[in-house]
């Protein structure tokens, strides 16, 4: 005969017909309560206390089920990862655009006496030859001209590829004339001539040194 009653939250007692029923202390195993072959599910503990046995619930946690918000967040992450542009396709598109504008770039280099391939390397570094590129600072177009600089150079539409290339070439020529060496001229194109003049070197502002290195490395490939 097996009697079952409640002792409180999470506790059940069983009075067995056998006072000498074996005691079990193993969690995660099934143990017989009596000769009637009653067993306990994994995660429970059986303690023999006097003439009855106590079945104690082990630690239990509900199965993980993401909330609607968590589910949407995980879907958003997956969507971003899935829609991330392929690096090869981006590189191919940049190379294709470069080929489209390279004739105008070389013509501007010749017109303004810029060393062959330098303007090409600068535009590649600035915008990857994307005529619609806009920076967080407001620079725009192939040569990433700022509004004030474009106005001074007579560039009315910074998104006009030919006008932007001409403006970038003219501005780079001005920097070459002012500083006399390529690395300082390129630094001035990025950080502004005032910063380079004050320091007499490449400004260590966290951006310009890497920018100059990228332009010169690209130029070496031309």
Q: 48, 87, 126, 207: which one is catalytic?
A: 126
H or E segment at 162? helix 161-179
User: If we measure between CA atoms, which residue out of 98, 168, 105, 85 comes closest to residue 130?
Assistant: 98
CA-closest candidate to residue 172, choices 146, 152, 190: 190
**DSSP class of 62:** P
56 is catalytic: no
Residue 124: closest CA among 133, 111, 115 = 133
What are the beta bridge partners of residue 134?
Answer: 140
**Residue 194, Cβ density class (10 Å: 0-12 exposed, 13-18 middle, ≥19 buried):** exposed
How big is the CA angle at 191 (ends 188 and 195), to the nearest 5 degrees?
80
Residue of 11, 54, 50 whose CA lies nearest to 31: 54
Active site residues: 126
């Amino acid at each position: 005969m097996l009697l079952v009653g409640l002792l409180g939250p999470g506790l059940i007692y069983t009075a067995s017909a056998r006072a000498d029923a074996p005691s079990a202390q193993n969690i995660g195993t099934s143990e017989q309560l009596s000769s009637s072959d009653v067993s306990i599910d994994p995660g429970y503990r059986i303690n023999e206390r006097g003439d009855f046995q106590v079945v104690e619930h082990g630690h239990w946690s509900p199965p993980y089920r993401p909330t609607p918000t968590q589910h949407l967040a995980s879907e958003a992450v997956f969507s971003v990862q899935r829609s991330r542009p392929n690096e090869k396709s981006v590189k191919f598109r940049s190379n294709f655009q470069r080929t489209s504008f390279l004739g105008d770039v070389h013509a501007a280099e010749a017109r303004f006496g810029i060393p062959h391939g330098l303007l090409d390397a600068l535009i590649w570094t600035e915008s990857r030859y994307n005529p619609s590129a806009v920076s967080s600072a407001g620079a725009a177009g192939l040569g990433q001209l700022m509004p004030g600089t474009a106005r001074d150079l007579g560039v009315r539409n910074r998104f006009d590829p030919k006008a932007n290339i001409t403006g970038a070439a003219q501005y780079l020529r001005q920097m070459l004339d002012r500083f006399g060496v390529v690395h300082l001229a390129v630094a001035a194109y990025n950080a502004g001539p005032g910063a380079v003049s004050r320091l007499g070197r490449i400004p260590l502002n966290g951006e310009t040194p890497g920018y100059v290195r990228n332009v010169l490395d690209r130029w070496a490939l031309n």
